[in-house]
Chains A and B, each alone.
Chain A
Amino acid sequence: MSVLVYTENWDGKFKKSTYELLSYASEIAKMANTEVSALTIGEVAEDELKTLGTYGASKVLVLKDEKLKDFIAKSYSSAISQVAKKEDAKIVVFANSVSGRALAARTAVQLDAGFAPGVMQLPSSLEPFVVRKKAYSGKAFADYELMADVKVLSLTQNSFELIENAKDIAIEETSVEIHDEDLRAKPKNVEKQTGKLLITEAEILVSAGRGLKGPENWGMIEEMAEILGAATCCSRPVADLGWRPHEEHVGQTGKVVAPNLYFAIGISGAIQHLAGVNGSKVMVAINTDPEAPFFEAADYGIVGDAFKVVPALNEALKKFKAGQ
């Protein structure tokens, strides 16, 4: 038995979330007294593959198949399930990203497994297998018990720290059988920004709401993100009004995020917004209204006009960064 991790690559590169995933899987493998294998699909340079060993993988399986050129949930999950069976993997770990979640659910059905989506911690015990996840959109947590022989987990991004655990990693090619009918729903057109910092991966998020009055005022928000190496995001009305793209919408009906630091600028702090962001380690609210509900959830707050506070903060941040 082993722990198998599906490590997605972006044009041959891994991201921080990949290493979080491996760190998580190798801690589970330690508990279970076994090894971690990573599986990646497509062309990845050997040096990049070796980085997986730094975080505890003792083997990486590389799957190169013309049929797996496009990401299709059905064909990818079929490939992953076949490898899991070959490897006798009893625990299969995915990232809880858009694609990872879809793959995990399908893989769980194929492997007749129990599936815990969006876990945030190591299992508290392996027998019975109990692991904690969020419930009620971040308003609560639940201890999930998986009762099947095979367990599938998807790990919430930014919820597990990187743990170095260097291994001599073996690189092996593997193969699977993909049927043509698994290739239905092939994308016609893909727009993907590989270099962009994803909202779900960023350690710092600068988020702004309707208090900013209009899309023309986002320059200072983008500037702040730039200074901090952060990503920008927004409240739902801001996305609905078309001020910002939909993928920036965070909250109960948008993305659920858990950065180290979350700036909420001109956001009231509605319960549906907080549900998606209260996994953040530290939250800062900047709002003109001292009664804004966000101040009840935030760790630090400034009562003030964003149009004055944010430019001043940007200048001070530049100085701070220059002095570091």
Chain B
Amino acid sequence: MKVLLCISHVPDTTSRIRFTDNDTAFDKTDIQYIIGPHEELALTRLLEVKEQIGDLNITVLNVGTAETEPTIRKALAVGADDAIRVDAEPTDALFVAKQIAEVFKNGDFDFIVTGKETIDFNGAQVGEMVAELLDLPSISSTSHFEIKDGKALLEREIDGGKEEIEVDFPFVSTAGKGFAIEPRIPSMRGIMQARRKPLKVVQPVEQAAKTKVNKFYLPEPKGACKMVDAENVEELIRLLHEEAKVL
């Protein structure tokens, strides 16, 4: 069986965010990049599934410039089998989705996994767009994933509950909370092996952008925190009621 795991290359979650070029571009100075946290959990779970069922080839895919290769290599070091990079600076989510759909069509993959959302653009849209472009069923915010007797059994979060879903291949699953708990980290051996694993670079197909970012803003700085004495909780209630007007 073959899975296409689409990973994002995003600023580390502890990064302080800054912008340049009159606040039209993200400032990459001193930024460490990581595999998107949801995709990292997805990779972890897929490796567990591979260990259970034996036959599962994990291909990681990233749409990005050569800058993203260390992130792709990290996924290979954690345990993915091979990788594809679509060589392009992504313009918007639809552009990325179009590239993923194209790679899927040109390969013999059984299913696609993406993260539920990236932590830079927070669109939570690429997985669903891929499914729509390929006319595939989708399971968004998947919270549990397994393959049993050749069938995919998933759980997904819904507003106020959860659903169990059994789905035929092929399909798209977007990995959310619960897909795995602790991400796997690469071993020394994994890092050595990753250098020799195949990383194929392919050219993008055309897709005109339908959206663009005109300008970024940072939140207004917060005023100082008003401290209330622990012995005087009535004062907190008074402030929340009279001053903040939220009680």
Contact = CB atoms under 8 A, between A and B. Distances in A.
Given A110-B132, A186-B165, A308-B230, A271 B124 contact: no
A204 B143 CA distance: 26
B168 interface: yes
Given A145-B214, A261-B246, A301-B225, 8 more contacts: A102-B128, A109-B94, A115-B94, A142-B215, A143-B213, A184-B167, A252-B119, A309-B233
A253 B234 contact: no
Nearest to B163: A187
B141 A106 contact: no
A302 B140 contact: no
A239 B161 CA distance: 16
B37 A115 contact: no
Interface of B: 11, 13-14, 17, 19, 37-38, 93-94, 97, 119-129, 131-133, 135, 137-141, 143, 157-168, 171, 177-178, 181-182, 209-219, 222-223, 225-230, 233-234, 236-237, 239-241, 244, 246-247
Contact of A144 (B120, B168, B211): B211
A267 interface: no
Contact of A189 (B163, B210, B218, B239): B163
Nearest to A228: B247
B164 A148 contact: no
Given A104-B125, A253-B177, A284-B236, A74 B131 contact: yes
B168 to A, nearest CB: 7
A254 interface: yes
Given A115-B93, A298-B225, A106 B131 contact: yes
A281 interface: yes
Contacts of A285: 225
A313 B241 CA distance: 14
Given A147-B210, A246-B143, A253-B38, A74 B14 contact: no
A320 B228 contact: no
Given A184-B171, A284-B236, A299-B226, A116 B211 contact: yes
A45 interface: no
Contact of B210 (A146, A256, A261, A320): A146
B218 A140 contact: yes
